[in-house]
Each structure stands twice: as structure tokens, then as C-alpha cells.
Amino acid sequence: MNFNKFKFGIDFTDTFESLQKSGKAYIITAILMVVIMAVTCGIVFFAVVKGSEEVLVPNVVGKELTKALEELQVKELYPKIQLRYSNNPDEKGLILDQNPPAGTIIKASRRVNLIVSRGVIIDKVEDYTNQKFDDVKVHLQTLFTGTRAMITLQDPPFYVSNIAEAGTILEQNPPADTIIIDPIKLELVVSKGPEFEKTKVPPLTGLSVNDTLLQISRSKVIFDFTTKIADITELPGTIVSQEKEAGSWADVNGRVNAVLAIPEKQTGDMVYGIFSETLPKYPYALQLQLDVQTYDGERYNLVTLNHPGGNLTIPYYLQKNSILILSIENSRDVMRKTIQ
């Protein structure tokens, strides 16, 4: 009897030999796969270690952007573009600088930084008529910050009497739309306001210091304040006289004397006084702002008014050791005085 077979007819000897043959095939296949993977990893490793081919960076400074890109593409280098204004309108679209510089040896596929000119900030003269001179001055200073100024102002400009608001630009040379090739000096004719414009004198007599400050902030008349010791009929801390009668006509920015009565002896922390300063004479009234900084650091506005310069006087009633801070429109100059 053959014990290698069941009654169902299965031959276990043949089956075992077949499994042995299949196992050898699996082992050989696994070994081949390991070898292939090892070879692949080695190729990748050496490719990474070796890196990209080294190339010489070309010189593209002064060339048009399209030409520079073509030369970089040939070297398999990639551009990183940054735009910048320049002083020469002919440089628009040209390469101003590159990094790495020409002649540097680097690996292919590296980035090369290119500075490309976007031309000058403005290429023609704008129309500045009917704008304020101070606004145009600030605009041009801001426009050319960090670059060569292609437009400079003749300062001071030529001032004329005109019905236009003081400080308004009436004419300009060169005219609007003039092409800018080289730096130019812009000559302006500016209004200093009507020559014989009149205004009414406001009433100050009898007013307190605070009410007086409110009136002079609204008035086109310039008051020159002085002080006197209050007599028995006068209330300390009030305006007791003014040179021109309230409601009468005076020249715009014309001067009117006024007198502030103060106590014979000022006691306590609060004192009356006159802030006084001699300013340059302006061609037209500029905005002045007088602020107060208290001893504990608080700051607030005392009065804001338009003033043509020269003698400036402003009455006050403030705490001792307060600091008065005067600032002038479109000027960095700041004047400080401490109240004693």
C-alpha cells in the first residue's frame, strides 16, 4: 500500500518537491529585488552628492531683461527679479545689478538676483497750479526720498498779491507735461492773498483768557498783547482794552494792540502771562499751534491760529512749571518755554 497517497488520490511527495522548487524561486526573486533597490539607492545617493553641474554666472548688468533671461536660461540659472527706480529714464527695463556677480562659479539651477530699473519715478512735469505750495513741497520731498531728486523747487518762490487763497500756486515753469530728461528746477508763482483784503475786528474787551484764545483762533487780525496790573475798576484775568474798536474794519493780518489785566501778586499754582516769540516773517499766514505739557506729562492744545510771522504774543492762565510748545506748519522747528 502506498502511504504517500490518501484515498482521495493526493501524492504528497510530488507536492513537497513542488513547494521546495517554489521556495527557491521566491528566495531568488527577493534577493534580486534587494540588489536592484541597493543599486537604485546608490545611484540616487551619488547623484545628490555630486549635485548639479557647475556653471559660470554670465554678466547681464546693463542688458535688457529679456536678453538677460535668455543668457541665464542657457546656463540653467533661474532669475529672481526686484524692481527699483533709477535716476536715468534711459535705464528703464535694464539690469542695474546682479547677485552673484558675473564670473562666479555656482551650481546649475541656482537663483540669480536681478535688480531691474523701472525707470524714473516720474518722467514728466505734473500740473501743480491751484495746489498749495507747501503741499507740493512735501510731495516732492517724499517722492524722491532715497533717490536723486529730478525736480527741485525754487525756494522761496515768487509771491504776488492775488484773490486766490494765500499759498496757492498760480503759474509754473516748466509747464505741465514737460518731459524730464535731466534734473530741473521748478519755478512757481504763488499767491500771498489779496493785497487790500479787509476783515472786521473781533471784540476782546471784557473777555477772559480762554474766551480770548477762542476769538483769536478765528480772527484774521493779529493781536499784540501786553499786560498791566489791574486797577480797582478792572477784573484781573480779562482783556481791559483794545486799540481798534470791535466791528471796525482792518487789513487782513493787520495788527491790533490789546491789554490783559493781571493781579498785582499772583499766588498759588496758577499764573497769568504772555507767551512771546519773534518769528521769521512769512509771505502769507501759516498755521501755528501752541500746546501745553503739564508737570505730570499730559499734553493738550492751548490755541491754533494763522500768523504771518514777526512778533507773536499769546495770553495764558496756566499752572506753574507747565511747558509751552510752539510748532509751525510744515516746519520741524519746535519752540519750548517753561512757565515760572
User: What digits encode the pLDDT tens for the residues 2-20?
Assistant: 444 444 454 545 544 554 5
User: What digits encode the pLDDT tens for the residues 212-245?
Assistant: 999 999 999 999 999 999 999 999 999 999 999 9
In this prediction, residues 319-326 reach a mean pLDDT of 94
User: What digits encode the pLDDT tens for the residues 34-71?
Assistant: 667 766 766 655 555 455 588 999 999 999 999 999 99
In this prediction, residues 156-164 reach a mean pLDDT of 89
**Mean pLDDT, all residues of the chain:** 85
Res 51: pLDDT: 52
What are the distances in angstroms from CA 239 to CA 230, 288, 339?
Answer: 10, 22, 20
CB 17 within 8 A of CB 23: no
Core vs surface per residue 94-131: b (16+ CB within 10 A) or e: bbbebeeeeeeebeeebebebbbbebbbeeebbebeeb
In this prediction, residues 27-38 reach a mean pLDDT of 69
Res 299: pLDDT: 94
Lowest mean pLDDT, pick from 26-35, 124-133, 311-320, 331-340: 26-35
Res 12: pLDDT: 46
Place of cell 507767551: 275
Core vs surface per residue 209-246: b (16+ CB within 10 A) or e: beebbebbeebbbbbbbeeeebeeebeebbbbebebee
d(CA 30, CA 28): 5
Res 3: pLDDT: 46
For residue 29, is pLDDT > 80?
no
Res 5: pLDDT: 46
Pairwise pLDDT comparison (169 vs 87), residue with the higher score = 169
Res 205: pLDDT: 97
Res 86: pLDDT: 73
Structural domains in the chain, sorted by start: 1-34 (no CATH), 54-117 (3.30.10.20), 133-191 (no CATH), 199-338 (no CATH)
Is residue 36 within a helix (H) or strand (E), and if so which, with residue range? helix 12-50
Pairwise pLDDT comparison (121 vs 294), residue with the higher score = 294
In this prediction, residues 172-185 reach a mean pLDDT of 90
In this prediction, residues 154-170 reach a mean pLDDT of 90
Beta carbons within 10 angstroms of residue 170's beta carbon: 16
User: What digits encode the pLDDT tens for the residues 77-119?
Assistant: 999 998 877 767 678 789 999 999 998 999 888 999 999 987 7
In this prediction, residues 289-316 reach a mean pLDDT of 94
For residue 334, is pLDDT > 50?
yes
For residue 269, is pLDDT > 70?
yes
Res 155: pLDDT: 85
For residue 318, is pLDDT > 90?
yes
Residues 6+ positions from 46 with CB-CB distance below 8 Å: none
Of the pLDDT bands very low, low, confident and very high (cuts 50, 70, 90), residue 206 is very high
Res 248: pLDDT: 95
Res 49: pLDDT: 45
